[in-house]
Every structure is written in structure tokens, then in C-alpha cells.
Amino acid sequence: MLSFELFQDKAGEWRWRLRHRNGNILATSSEGYRAKADAMRCIENVKASSDATVNEV
């Protein structure tokens, strides 16, 4: 099971991280968001793109 954690950083910006049930962090937001709604929208975008392909580079 995976869960998103939404939190404010020391600068007061909203960030998220995706955590596995074993406690490992699998992904984090690459930037902070001033508005909580913007961070939530980013989470929704990540969830919607779960059908992403894997590209070897």
C-alpha cells in the first residue's frame, strides 16, 4: 500500500512525498507550492500518470 503525505516545509511551502507501507519514501515533490491546492493538484497528476512507461536511458 502506498500513501501520499502532504506537509509544509520550513519555508511554509506545501510539499508531498509518496511513502510505501514499509516506511520507504518512493517519491517527493521537486518543488514547494505556496498554495495547498497546487500541491494537491500535483498529487492528482502523479496519481493519474500511474500508467507511465519505463524508458531506459
What's domain 2-48's architecture? Answer: 2-Layer Sandwich (3.30)
- This prediction's pTM: 0.85
Predicted local confidence at residue 4, as pLDDT: 96
What residues are paired with 27 via a beta bridge?
18
State the DSSP string of 8-36.
E-TTS-EEEEEEETTS-EEEE-SS-BSSH
Predicted local confidence at residue 51, as pLDDT: 81
Alpha carbon separation from 31 to 6, 23, 38, 55 (Å, rounded): 13, 22, 11, 23
Write out the chain's pLDDT in tens, 57 residues: 899 999 999 999 999 999 999 999 999 999 999 999 999 999 999 999 888 888 999
Predicted local confidence at residue 53, as pLDDT: 85
Backbone angles phi, psi at 36, to 5 degrees: -60, -40
Written as one letter, the residue type at 18 is L
For the chain, the domains span 2-48
